[in-house]
Amino acid sequence: MQEPAALTPTQERTLALLRRSPEPVEFDEAFIDHLLHHATTAVAALSARLQGESVWVSKGFLAKVHGCEVRHLAPDDFAWKPSTAAGFVAHKAIELSLNWRGEPHPALVVDEAMARLGDQADNRGAYVGGLSDGEFAELRSRAIDRTTKFLQDFPPLPVGSQPVLEASSRWKPPGTIEFGGKVDLVVGKPAGRESRLLIIDFKTGGHAPHHRDDLRFYALVQTLRQAVPPRKVVTYYLDYSDSDAEDVTEGMLQSALHRTLEGVERHIELTAEGRQPEKRVGFACRWCPLQDDCAEGRAFLRGHDDPDIDP
């Protein structure tokens, strides 16, 4: 049997950060029960104010409603392009690489990923299947770059750790509000009430304040749906081979629930109850489709230009 390849110093550093502590981590059962009761009761009260509207609460929803409320209320005109689609193509390539026969070459697994995605009967499949030659080349190049960085710098994932890429997680109590999203990578398997799961989000570019909020929301949803919190959440920055890790704690989960409920309440005030939206400028103005008509946003960007911020 071939010996596993030696880890690079970068892989060793990341593995040390991700490795589970010898001491089992278990959360107080009464705390989890209280958190679930509080969330369920609060969501029921908020649902009653929605007048029948269904609300899907995701990390993007929360980022927008806690950011610029004008942008939050604007129609969603999102459309795939190579810079945004590279993420899901790379994720599919990484998924294939975990079970690839022999050494997975980034270009080969990306080509296979794009072929498989192009056959899917969904909006991603339609996008990949309808690419022009130039768009295809750009998307392929971006996806190979991300896949290469992952395969070269991230420690290998043993199959026994049950890694799942783009893992969906949802929680829906009685009412018309549902929490959920897709996590880039979940590692670990349940063991009773012991917290073993590791949630990882991949980013290109540099650090942004909302990255931790995104992962805390994922940890909250996982806790509400399974009654067992993950042990740690990590943002892994592909361009820097660097990680921002945070242990899951009672305080983190309480803070995440407060932020989530506050975000839903703001949405209700703006939609069902007619409060006027507040315009808030920030680095997210860089990717806002309303930028051309927003003098405040353009002025902010002129004074705070930072091309390394990742949305």
12: part of which helix (H) or strand (E)? helix 9-18
Other beta carbons within 10 angstroms of residue 117's beta carbon come to 19
Question: In the predicted model, is pLDDT for residue 236 greater than 90?
Answer: yes
**Average pLDDT over all residues of the chain:** 91
pLDDT at 128: 95
Question: In the predicted model, is pLDDT for residue 134 greater than 80?
Answer: yes
Question: In the predicted model, is pLDDT for residue 160 greater than 90?
Answer: no
pLDDT at 159: 77
d(C-alpha 305, C-alpha 283), whole Å: 8
Q: pLDDT of 94-124, one tens digit each?
A: 989 988 888 899 999 999 999 999 999 999 9
Q: Where are the domains of the chain?
A: 82-158
| Contact (CB, 8 A) for 149 and 241 | yes
The winner for highest mean pLDDT among 101-105, 239-243, 244-248, 305-309 is 244-248
pTM for this entry? 0.90
> Over pLDDT 90: what percentage of the chain?
72
Question: In the predicted model, is pLDDT for residue 2 greater than 60?
Answer: no
Mean pLDDT for the stretch of residues 73-84: 87
Instruction: Say whether 2 sits in a helix, a strand or coil.
Output: coil
Predicted confidence band of residue 305 (pLDDT cuts 50, 70, 90): low
Extended beta strands in the chain, E state: 55-57, 164-171, 177-187, 198-203, 232-237, 242-247
d(C-alpha 268, C-alpha 51), whole Å: 10
Which tokens go with 146? 């991300």
With 0-12 CB in 10 A as exposed, 13-18 as middle and 19+ as buried, what is 101?
Answer: exposed
pLDDT at 166: 86
Mean pLDDT for the stretch of residues 60-74: 93
